[in-house]
Amino acid sequence: MPQNITITKEDIFQQVKLSCRIPDIVEEIVNRKVIIAAAEEAGITVETEELQKAADLLRLTNKLTSADDTWKWLEKHGLSIDDFEEIVYHSIIFGKLSQHLFSDKIEPYFFENQLDYSSVVMYEVVLDDEDLALELFYAIKEGEMSFYDVAHKYIQDVELRRKGGYLGVLRRKDLKPEISAAVFAATPPQFLKPIVTFKGVHLIFVEEIIKAQLENKLHQKIASDLFVEWLKKQVEEVKLISNL
């Protein structure tokens, strides 16, 4: 076994190829170039103060509390100070371009798609037998059994059974269309009639519908979604010339 191993740039590139990462990396490069070109076209610039704040945030995120920590982190990732500054610069450019493109579109988009951002707190039991599901539905409605009793008896998954069929807080997109239509039309707390899907017969208790509000986290998510969709369309129009 060799005592010393030398790793070259060619070795790294070969490993990237062998790990089948080239398509992902090419996509990242194209995305970056498209964003930079769009920012330049829009006249977006970065001030020194913005660079400093973003650099401080990057160090904080990576727990680089001292100059020594920063140097070790750079060395570990094969980065120079110029590379570090480029990372910071691009992070600012990406954010400012997103703001430039979508700052006045987020609120209208939210109100147009508000139902898609609503959430539901629900419990579920899935059965194979529709007749049994109806029997249990009426038994619960008439107070002969509780939903918890049904969940405890008929749910096979141990953890889900222990939670009484509780699925947590779900968004509309997390549910199949036939389920979400009934769930979001409910008036909580409400026990729904059995719903048949390819998975089986669903007994669902809707505890709460949470109406979406355009708070900061959702604002950022919508901005990100709009930016990703915009970037996808821009990339589709790019003619890629590879020198690999």
Give CA–CA dist 194/200, Å, rounded.
Answer: 10
- Which DSSP string corresponds to 210-236? E-----HHHHHHHHHHHHHHHHHHHHH
Contacts (Cβ under 8 Å, ≥6 apart) of 137: 191, 193, 194, 203
Pairing status of strand 200-210 against strand 119-127:
antiparallel
Under CATH, to which class is 119-210 assigned? alpha beta
pLDDT of residue 240: 66
What count of residues does the chain have?
244
Residue 102 has pLDDT above 80, yes or no: yes
pLDDT confidence of residue 2: 63
* Domain parsing of the chain, residue ranges: 9-108+220-236, 119-210
Other Cβ atoms closer than 10 A to 56 = 12
Instruction: Reply yes or no on whether the pLDDT at 189 is more than 90.
Output: yes
Q: What does the pLDDT average to over 99-106?
A: 94
Is the peptide bond between 189 and the residue preceding it cis, with omega within 30 degrees of 0? yes
Q: What is the pLDDT of residue 75?
A: 94
- Location of structure tokens 């076209």: 41
Residue 115 pLDDT level (bands cut at 50, 70, 90): confident
C-alpha 172/C-alpha 213 separation (Å) is 15
Q: Which range among 4-13, 14-23, 184-193 shows the weakest confidence by mean pLDDT?
A: 4-13
